[in-house]
């Protein structure tokens, strides 16, 4: 063997066992139960620490090409590695141009190929005028098509129901899915207009302008169109328990719909947002503590399919302009480096979330959903040797200098976590260890959807 990881708590999506894993080349060769002496070129004794499958983050924004000063693939994938993320699936917007046709997709791939320290895949975009471009992007292995039910605030057009209907039908027939940002454009605009007319610029005005019912209505409406068309729908960054319950009910009726939530909706509440300010501004907004705990119940009850970071960085000046007027701040939370620590701290250690359930939401389910399984997502023979080694008992506080982001700020700075990423391996090679990136950019490989949608 090339590598033997021994004396670990090995976590699969079904169980935790004491033992280890052997690696040959870039692949997992075998699972080892108990303590066994196995010859290998390198033997790592994990001293009882947790060995998780590498995280498959299905929701990141790296802004390259065109807005590399916000992040870029180099620093973005370095932060991913530091957070135990071994595969990143990047959204099609917040770059120039967005990946809404084959030519734009190829341009992005040419630009970023030399920048990555972890493996990466691409979302395509579904906008008002590109249905004719879908098949060419599909042939290039995009893992899904992002659409917005409300305006995205950048050069990426929102969807009306006609295009959502047509897109679900066409994309479903190709064995792919739509990932939808679900907020009601018209209601949010109306409420925003009212609040602005009243002279409201305070932080609470932001979450008052985008209430839970505006999110729930759109989830229900989109699920209806998925049912009618037989298409495949993935609702991204759900912030409310009612939204998760709506997805579960629709799926019970035979609709192909799945649910993602994000760590920031499980960590921060209204009081945190009003204290932190623009660094925690996002859409949908941070919710009340009651909403946070109700969402956690959905997670603990196995109702959430995937956890994605929705890492959405920018420069500090884009946030700072909203310090006195929240409407002016860019919306997005920089969070890829903290997604796993949040789930370990708030989920596993604080609320008793099982490690196999964590592995399902962070690794196995997204790998299946986005057509990367069995190459990614599970510790099993034949899969890529993607691992994250975690010390569940390490309590630590985040300092800005620990961040690998290009712009070293985050709503999480100053927060304390119980559970820490010690080492990350991608295809059998250590890419991060004890605060240091240990591989050169360009190591990361392009991932393409290899299997049609079949997750249920």
Report how far residue 238's alpha carbon sits from residue 183's, in angstroms, rounded to the nearest whole number: 10
Q: What is the pLDDT of residues 69-96, one digit of tens each?
A: 999 999 999 999 999 999 999 999 988 8
What residues does CATH 3.20.20.140 cover in the chain? Answer: 55-369
Taking each helix axis from N to C end, the angle separating 161-173 and 212-229, rounded to the nearest 10 degrees, works out to 50
Do residues 13 and 359 touch, judged by C-beta distance below 8 A? yes
Q: Is the pLDDT of residue 455 over 80?
A: no
The full length of the chain comes to 456
Report how far residue 42's alpha carbon sits from residue 354's, in angstroms, rounded to the nearest whole number: 30
Q: Specify the pTM.
A: 0.97
Q: Which CATH superfamily is domain 3-51+383-408+416-437 in?
A: Urease, subunit C, domain 1 (2.30.40.10)
CA diameter of the chain: 72
Which sign, positive or negative, has the C-alpha torsion 69, 446, 123, 365?
Answer: negative
Q: Note the pLDDT of residue 154.
A: 66
Q: Which CATH superfamily is domain 55-369 in?
A: Metal-dependent hydrolases (3.20.20.140)
Helix (H, G, I), strand (E, B) or coil at 277: coil
Report how far residue 93's alpha carbon sits from residue 67's, in angstroms, rounded to the nearest whole number: 11
Tokens 């920031």 appear where?
A: 264
Taking each helix axis from N to C end, the angle separating 289-300 and 241-252, rounded to the nearest 10 degrees, works out to 30
User: Residue 432 pairs with which residues in a beta bridge?
Assistant: 424, 437
Q: What is the pLDDT of residues 165-206, one digit of tens each?
A: 999 999 999 999 999 999 999 999 999 999 999 999 999 999
The model's confidence at residue 25, banded by pLDDT at 50, 70 and 90, is very high
- Prior bond to 65 cis, omega within 30? yes
Do residues 284 and 215 touch, judged by C-beta distance below 8 A? yes
Q: What is the pLDDT of residues 113-152, one digit of tens each?
A: 999 999 999 999 999 889 999 999 999 999 999 999 998 8
Q: Note the pLDDT of residue 103.
A: 95
Residue 332, by phi and psi: left (phi above 0), alpha (psi -120 to 50) or beta?
left
Q: What is the pLDDT of residues 145-167, one digit of tens each?
A: 999 999 886 678 889 999 999 99
Tokens read off for 184? 């009601």
Mean pLDDT for the stretch of residues 360-388: 98
Report how far residue 385's alpha carbon sits from residue 429's, in angstroms, rounded to the nearest whole number: 8
Q: Rounded to 5 degrees, what are φ and ψ at 233?
A: -125, 135
Report how far residue 130's alpha carbon sits from residue 259's, in angstroms, rounded to the nearest whole number: 25
User: Across the beta sheet with 178-181, what order do the strands follow?
Assistant: 124-125, 145-148, 178-181, 232-235, 256-261, 306-307
Helix (H, G, I), strand (E, B) or coil at 362: helix
What residues does CATH 2.30.40.10 cover in the chain? Answer: 3-51+383-408+416-437
- Prior bond to 284 cis, omega within 30? yes
């Amino acid at each position: 063997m090339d590598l033997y990881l021994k004396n670990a708590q090995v976590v699969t999506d079904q169980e935790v066992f004491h033992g280890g894993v052997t690696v040959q080349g870039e692949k997992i060769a075998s699972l080892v139960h108990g303590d066994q002496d196995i010859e290998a070129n390198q033997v790592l004794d994990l001293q009882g620490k947790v060995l998780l499958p590498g995280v498959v983050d299905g929701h990141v924004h790296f802004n390259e090409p065109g807005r590399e000063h916000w992040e870029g693939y180099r620093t973005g994938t370095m932060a991913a590695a530091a957070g135990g993320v071994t595969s990143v699936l990047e959204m099609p917007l917040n770059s120039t141009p967005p990946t809404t046709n084959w030519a734009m997709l190829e341009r992005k791939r040419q630009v970023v190929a030399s920048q990555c320290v972890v493996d990466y895949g691409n979302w395509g975009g579904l906008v008002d005028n590109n249905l004719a471009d879908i098949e060419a992007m599909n042939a290039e292995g995009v893992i899904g098509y992002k659409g917005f039910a409300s305006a995205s605030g950048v050069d990426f057009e929102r969807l009306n129901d006609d295009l959502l209907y047509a897109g679900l039908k066409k994309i479903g027939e190709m064995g792919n899915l739509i990932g939808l940002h679900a907020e009601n454009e018209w209601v949010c605009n109306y409420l925003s207009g009212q609040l602005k007319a009243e002279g409201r610029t305070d932080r609470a005005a932001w979450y008052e302008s985008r209430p839970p019912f505006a999110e729930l209505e759109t989830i229900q409406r989109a699920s209806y169109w998925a049912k009618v068309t037989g298409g495949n729908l993935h609702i991204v960054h759900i912030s409310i328990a009612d939204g998760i319950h709506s997805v579960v009910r629709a799926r019970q009726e035979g609709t192909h719909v799945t649910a993602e939530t994000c760590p920031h909706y499980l960590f921060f509440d209204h009081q945190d947002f009003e204290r932190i300010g623009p660094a925690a501004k996002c859409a949908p907004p941070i919710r009340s503590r009651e909403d946070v705990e109700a969402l956690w119940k959905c997670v603990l009850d196995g109702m959430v399919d995937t956890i994605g970071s929705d890492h959405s960085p920018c420069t500090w000046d884009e946030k700072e302009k909203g310090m006195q007027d929240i409407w002016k701040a860019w919306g997005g939370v920089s969070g890829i480096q903290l997604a796993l620590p949040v789930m370990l701290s708030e989920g596993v250690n604080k609320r008793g979330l099982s490690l196999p359930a964590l592995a399902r939401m962070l690794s196995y389910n997204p790998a299946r959903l986005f057509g990367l399984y069995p190459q990614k997502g599970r510790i099993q023979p034949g899969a890529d040797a993607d691992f994250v080694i975690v010390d569940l008992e390490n309590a630590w506080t985040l300092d800005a200098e620990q961040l690998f982001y290009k712009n070293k700020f985050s709503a999480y700075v100053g927060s304390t976590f119980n559970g820490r990423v010690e080492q990350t391996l991608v295809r059998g090679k250590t890419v991060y260890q004890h605060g240091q990136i240990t591989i050169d950019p360009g190591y990361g490989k392009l991932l393409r959807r290899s299997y049609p949608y079949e997750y249920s």
